[in-house]
Structure 1
Amino acid sequence: MFERFSSGYYLGRLYVEPTDGPHATISQRTYESVTEDLYGERQPLVVKLGQTHLAVRGEAGVPARTLSVPATGLDAAGIDNPPTLSAVLLAKADVASRYLPAATPRSGT
């Protein structure tokens, strides 16, 4: 699903769709596989969509190869007409740890 892209990111292509939820999500199975293989521990994944970094959680019911993103994240990433197949950069663990606090939505927002 993701291939090496640079020293800080893996590259993948996912369908990006809107969600009413407060967090960006991928399928629970994908989340578990990626966190185990690439991060070595369970923590939110960090993806770069456009110029925006998003914390991504696993959720049952999200289709495979799909990234569900709240409307504010879609706007910030410049996604105007979802669902759309988009290049998504997955931050490697060391890069993710730098972006995780900024990429995680605050409660109540």
Structure 2
Amino acid sequence: MFEVFSRSYYLGRLYVTPTDRDRALMQREQHERINEEVYASGEGLEPLDSPLVMKLESQHFPVHGDEGVPANTLALPESLLEGTEIRNPPALQEVFLARRERARQLLEYAGGWEPGTAAVPDTDDYPNAGT
């Protein structure tokens, strides 16, 4: 689903569609699998429902899991879709997934990083995350 793009991001393609919810969503099972492969450190029990950080065009946003979203789909609130070039959703789009350290930086900046997880070393060596 996602492949290495740079030191900060993975690149994938998802169907982007609108949602009436107030946050970005993807299928819960895929969300948890990606969370485990990309963000978990492998040390002890870790929550798999923490938001993923994705980027579409120039916008970064947290993505949560939801059982009502189809596989390989990114459901975005209208307010996020309005800032894109997508005019006729659903549309297959390239989406960036922030690697663990980059996600930590972005969430820390936005005030969404949980203290206690900031000291996790960046051992982000998952070349085919989510595949």
Q: Give unmatched runs, 5+ long, in structure 1.
A: 105-109
Confirm or deny that 1:93 pairs with 2:100.
yes
3-state SS in 1 of match to 2:93: strand
User: Whose Rg is larger?
Assistant: 2
Q: Give unmatched runs, 5+ long, in structure 2.
A: 41-45, 113-131
Deviations 1:20-71 (A, max 9, x none): 0011000000011000000004320000001000100000011000000001
Distance in 2 of aligned mates of 1:103 and 1:68: 23
More helix by share: 1
3-state SS in 1 of match to 2:13: strand
Identity %: 46
Choose the corresponding residue for 1:65, options 59, 63, 72. 72
3-state SS in 2 of match to 1:77: coil
Runs of 4+ in 1 over 6 A off after TM superposition: none
1:25, 1:59 within 8 Å by CA — same for their partners in 2?
yes
Equivalences for residues 14-33 of structure 1 within 5 A: 14-33=14-33
- Relative to the length of structure 2, the TM-score reads 0.75
> What is the Cα-based RMSD across aligned positions, in Å?
1.6
Structure-1 residue corresponding to 2:5: 5
Confirm or deny that 1:102 pairs with 2:110.
yes
1:46, 1:103 within 8 Å by CA — same for their partners in 2?
no
1:53, 1:103 within 8 Å by CA — same for their partners in 2?
no
- Relative to the length of structure 1, the TM-score reads 0.89
**Alpha-carbon distance change, 53 to 33 in structure 1, aligned in 2, over 3 angstroms:** same
